[in-house]
Structure 1
Amino acid sequence: MATPQLSGQTASQPVSIQQPIVFFDGECVMCNGFVDILLKVDPLGTILIAPLQGQTAKQYLPPLPIDREAWSIYYRDESELYDQSDAFIQVCKRLGGVWSAFNAIRLIPRPVRDRIYRFIACNRYRLFGRRATCRMPSESERERFLP
């Protein structure tokens, strides 16, 4: 089994997962909007969802920076861990169909697209707001969310 990679770092332990997982900032309004879209365009639940603040993130991700502005969306599939713009691209690739068009972003060099990603991420609370607590999934969403 491959050990997941994150920006050249090896995660603390090899992990076996059955479905891909998107890790998001559960207190970020913009991130929750992305999760809302994901829930609508992936009605079969092929991608699971977990907040960065939860136990699943602690198990599957390297330690997060103390500064929340440095946090990123993460996407873990069966063999690798992606962050920032690569995570977004991989989610769109997995969704397929019209979402595959976002693969064109890959043509932009990663340092450039990650700089744009970081600008948005560092300003997300200021631009979109912040919830006082993590999102609580509805009854119909509960099976998609990991703690």
Structure 2
Amino acid sequence: MEENKKIILFDGVCNLCNGFIQFVIKRDNKDTFRYASLQSEIGKKLVYERGIDSNSIDSVVLIEPGVAYYIKSDAALQIGSDLNGFGSLSRILYLIPSGLRNIVYDLIARYRYAWFGKKDTCMIPTPELQSKFL
């Protein structure tokens, strides 16, 4: 793995999650992130190494190697803070207590397949994006 890269783990079969990853890739002007699905071997390994209960994770985990990891709305806001044009919005949303943010996050996560659909297999990155995926 590359040093100084934050890792986003996502549900590889979730259409909403895949759309979110495409959104992040387009706005990651500083090439901050690398990506892996939660279903991949590396995704499972990274979750296990951090003692994260994979049954409690509904879609996104952000890992800053050697620093910390974030789940649920904290992960989304940390990711947003590194995207061009979204840092201010992330700082404002951080003012909302995480318990309240996570109620909304959990609601969306619970119904994401029904609302946005689900793929049969994980997303396969294009050749241009392959280097960004672990």
Instruction: Please give the root-mean-square deviation of Cα atoms over the aligned residues, in Å.
Output: 1.7
Aligned amino acid, residue 90 of structure 1: Q
**Percent identical residues:** 31
Counting matched residue pairs gives 127
Decide whether the 8 Å contact of 1:29 with 1:129 is kept in 2: yes
Question: What does residue range 1-147 of structure 1 map to in structure 2 within 5 Å?
Answer: 18-61=4-47, 62-65=52-55, 71-78=58-65, 79-95=67-83, 97-100=84-87, 101-146=89-134
Distance 1:109 1:44, change over 3 A: closer
TM-score by length of 2: 0.87
**Inter-partner Cα distance in structure 2 for 1:59 and 1:17:** 17
TM-score by length of 1: 0.80
CA displacement, residues 58-79 of structure 1 (integer Å, 9 cap, x when unaligned): 22113411x8xx5231001131
Aligned amino acid, residue 134 of structure 1: C
Question: What are the ranges of 5 or more consecutive residues in structure 2 without an aligned counterpart?
Answer: none
**Inter-partner Cα distance in structure 2 for 1:39 and 1:113:** 24
Question: What are the ranges of 5 or more consecutive residues in structure 1 without an aligned counterpart?
Answer: 1-15
Aligned structure 1 segments of 4 or more residues deviating by more than 4 angstroms: none
